[in-house]
Amino acid sequence: MKARILLIEDNEQNRYLARFLLEQGGHEVLQAETGPLGLALAAQTRPDLILLDIQLPGMDGHTVARTLKSDAALRSIPIVAVTSYAMAGDKEKCLDAGAEGYIEKPINPETFLAEIEAFLRPAT
């Protein structure tokens, strides 16, 4: 299933790798480098899934997730936190902010696509 996936990530190398893997899986990838740009792009494009870094400049990923989930038009879009925050309690903070999933960085290129596709809603 081809999906439109919004990647909100400020690190260029992380964006490149995730985009490469997702496009190899046949998905369309939209990119934003900051939380505010990600929010605007989500509202404009209504992606099937949002991959969200937590450590973003200006507006952190927790705030972005809470903002997305407070918008009736966007709240049904699944969010997967893709983050280097891997201390005790970090996963719970991401889930409490509204993320449905959590993947630690560095991502595993061999399993990343399957991990992401598990969050895509089946076509109806």
Domain layout of the chain by residue ranges: 4-117
Averaged over 81-85, what is the pLDDT? Answer: 90
Averaged over 20-33, what is the pLDDT? Answer: 97
Residue 86 pLDDT grade (very low, low, confident, very high; cuts 50, 70, 90): confident
Portion of the chain with pLDDT greater than 70, in percent: 96
pLDDT value at 120 more than 70: yes
pTM (predicted TM-score): 0.95
Per-residue tokens: 120: 């895509």
Instruction: Burial-class residue 84 by CB neighbours within 10 Å (0-12, 13-18, 19+).
Output: middle
Q: Residue with structure tokens 């899986």?
A: 25
Q: Alpha helix (H) ranges present in the chain?
A: 12-24, 35-45, 61-70, 90-97, 112-117
Portion of the chain with pLDDT greater than 90, in percent: 90
CATH 3.10.180.10 fits 4-117, yes or no: no
Q: How many beta carbons lie within 10 A of that of residue 13, not counting itself?
A: 8
